[in-house]
Structure formats: structure tokens, C-alpha cells
Amino acid sequence: MPVLIAHTISEATEILAENPDATILNGGTDLMVEVNFNHRHPSSVLLLRNVPQLREWSIDSSQQTITIGAGVPYAAMETGAIAAAVPALAQAARTVGSPQIRAAGTMGGNLGTCSPAGDTLPVLSALEATIHLSSQDGERIVPFGEFMVGPKKNSRLQHEIITAVTLPITGRRQGYSKVGVRNAMVISVASACFAVVDDTPRLAMGSVGPTILRAVKAEKFLTEATTNLNIISDEIAREFGQIASTEARPIDDHRSTAQYRAHAIKVLASRLAVRGTAS
């Protein structure tokens, strides 16, 4: 199996144009598992680890945004400047796997796989991040909501590479929580990201539907029920969680039950709504 090694983004898009069947390899923490399990048999692999640009991140202070390369490993998001700019992303990154997985795994790979249980995805949804895609045809910027289109399905075209993600730096409350049946290294049974963006509340839910779901009714309720998003009563928080859980579309599987997942969303949403407030 040929391994094609790119050193720049343009080299990578060129290789991909010439080898439309090539499978992109980033940290390999999803792909290599699938190969080992014989679920995927790539005919060739495009290696992105030697593209320094993909491992960079930058802050645009005029726009108040941060752009994180698709090859930045989770370990780099857990602390430091990225964590300060997007605390919910740092929390999501910390919940991914084990130290070994966080040293190798990337947001590009999380987006490439696009599992409803992917831990960074609710953060990208709540913060309405944009995904940068590059190809020989140029660059395309797609809002997250249009990027993830189904379980393990995204709108990336075969000849495109995910290069980066841009997120707003809100300076307001945000947080991520994930429920699993073990205290670390576990696939989420239900997860949620709450963030205040442009003075409106946002709630995105993971593992409770075919894609990451936005709890639009709950968001609307909270907007109307409060005047100051830093002062939320327990009662309102409970109601917020209650509404959010009705917007979840969970299923029963071997990891949990639909009933528990909906319940967990209710609890997570109401806790996140008040997390970090004075109350």
C-alpha cells in the first residue's frame, strides 16, 4: 500500500487530485483502528503529519477568532492559549481517550470521522465554528451545521482536505460535559456544550441523534426567560434542561438506553446553564 507524504497543503491537495482514492491519515487514532479491524482497506494513504501548517494555530484579535489547524493534537488544546481562548474546546479535548490518544488525535480526524459521539463536535456546533476545506479548486469555508450531515457523514468532497477550524473567542461562559460509564477513556453516552455567544445562549448535544443537535427551543426559552445570562435561577436552569431533553433524539443501543440519554441531557444542560455563574 503506497503512502504518499505531503509537506505543504498545496502538495497535499495536488496528491489528492492525482490520487482520488487516497485515504487521508492524520493522527491515525480512528483510521488505524478501522484498518486493524479489517473494516477499511485503503488502496493508498496520504500522510498529513509532515505538513507543519496543519499543526499551527493563530488568533485574529481584530475579529476575535481563533483558527486551529486540522493537525493540532488534542494535547495542545488542553492547556495554554487555545484553552484560554476556547475553554469548552479544552474541556472536550481533555475528555478524549487517554494521553496517548490525545498526543496523536486531531480535530481534523474528529471532523473526518464525524461520529455523533465525537467530542469536539458539540463545541464546534455551539460556537458555530467554520470548517476550512482546501482543494486544487481553492478554499471553501463551511459552517459546522452544514458540514456534518449525518452519522459519520460530512459534506467534504473527496478531493478536499480539512485544513483548519475557526471559532469565535467569546470571552463569555462556555462549558462542555460528557457522560460515559467510566471516569476516563470512554465513548460518550451523551454530551453537551453550552456557550454564550453574542449574548445569546447556545446548546449543542452529542450522542443523542444522527448528528450534533442544537437545542433551539431550549435556547429560545433561556433567551426569553432571562435578562442576564450570568444570573440563572435553578428553576430556570431545570426548565432549560427539560426542554433540551425533548429536543434530543436518542436511541437504545449496547452503550445505553434512549431514556437514560434523554435524562442525561436534561441534567447536563441544566448544570451547564449555571456552571460558572455566581449562583
Partner 1 sequence: MSSVKTKRDVLGTSSLRPDGGAKVKGDFAFTSDLHAENMLWGATLRSPHPHARIISIDTTAAWKIAGVECVVTADDVPGQLTYGLISSDQPVFAKDVVRYMGEPIAAVAADHPETCRRALAAITVVYEVLPVLFDPELAIGDDFEPIHPEGNLIRQQRIVHGDTSVVGDVIVEGHYVIGMQDQAFLGTESALALPDADGQGVEVFVATQWLHEDQKQMAACLNLPTERVRLVLGGVGGAFGAREDISLQVHTALLALRTSRPVKMQYGREESFFGHVHRHPATVWMRHHATNEGKIVKIEARFVFDGGAYASTSAAVLINGVTHTQGPYKCPVAVVDGYAVRTNNPPCGAMRGFGVVQACFAHEGQMDKLAAAVGTDPVSIRLMNAMETGDLLITGQPVESVAPVARLIRETNEIPLPPDLAMDANELELPGGSGITAERKHIKRGIGWGVSIKNIMYSEGFDDYSTARCTLSDGKVVLKFATSEVGQGFVTLAPQIARSVLGVTDAVCDTIDTQIGSAGSTSASRQTWMSGGAVDGACRLVRERLFEVVGAQHNIEPIRFAIEDDEIVDTAGTFRMSVIEASQGITISETFEHHHRPTEELDENGQGNCHVAFAFVAHRAVVDVDPELGLVKVVQIATAQDVGQVLNPLSVLGQIEGGIAQGLGLAVMEEIIVQEGRVRNPSFTDYLLPTALDAPVVVARMIEEYEQQAPLGAKGVGEPPCISVTPAIVAAIRDAIGKDIDRCPVRPQDICL
Q: Does 179 bind ligand FAD (CB under 6 A)?
A: no
We find the least distance from the C-beta atom of residue 182 to partner 1, in angstroms, to be 5
Beta strands across the sheet bearing 65-69: 57-60, 65-69, 161-168, 130-135, 138-143
Residue 257 in contact with partner 1, rule: CB under 8 A: yes
For helices 258-274 and 234-247, what crossing angle results, to 10°?
140
Instruction: Indicate which single residue of 182, 198, 224, 227 sits in contact with partner 1 (rule: CB under 8 A).
Output: 182
Q: According to the binding rule CB under 8 A, does residue 184 interact with partner 1?
A: yes
> From the CB of 60, what's the least distance to ligand FAD, in Å?
21
Instruction: Out of 180, 201, 206, 250, point to the residue binding partner 1 (CB under 8 A).
Output: 180
With a CB cutoff of 8 Å and minimum separation 6, the contacts of 273 are: 194, 201, 222, 232, 236, 237, 240, 241
Q: Per rule CB under 6 A, is residue 195 in the interface with ligand FAD? A: no
3-state secondary structure of 98: coil
What binding mask, one character per residue, do residues 31-70 give for partner 1 by CB under 8 A, x or -?
A: ------xx--------------------------------
Q: Is residue 25 close enough to count as binding ligand FAD by CB under 6 A?
A: yes
> Least distance (Å) from partner 1 to the CB of residue 213?
18
Shortest reach from residue 12's CB to partner 1, in Å: 29
Among 11, 19, 23, 55, binds ligand FAD (CB under 6 A): 23
Q: How far is the CB of 44 from ligand FAD (least distance, A)?
A: 12
Give, as one character, the DSSP assignment of residue 152: T
* Cell numbers placing 196: 454564550
Q: How many CB atoms lie within 10 A of CB 85?
A: 21
Q: Where are the alpha helices (DSSP H) in the chain?
A: 9-18, 31-36, 75-78, 80-85, 87-95, 99-104, 107-113, 121-126, 144-147, 216-225, 234-247, 258-274
Binding residue for partner 1 (CB under 8 A) from 77, 179, 195, 215? 179
Q: Where are the alpha helices (DSSP H) in 129-277?
A: 144-147, 216-225, 234-247, 258-274
Using alpha carbons, select from 102, 154, 90 the residue that is nearest to residue 127: 90
Triad 256, 34, 151: Cα angle to 5°: 50
- Contacts with ligand FAD by CB under 6 A: the residue count is 30
Decide whether 97 or 145 has the Cβ nearer to partner 1: 97
Work out whether 26 is an interface residue with ligand FAD (CB under 6 A): yes
For partner 1, the binding residues (CB under 8 A) are 37-38, 91, 94-95, 98, 175-189, 191, 253-257, 259-260, 263-264, 267-268, 271, 275
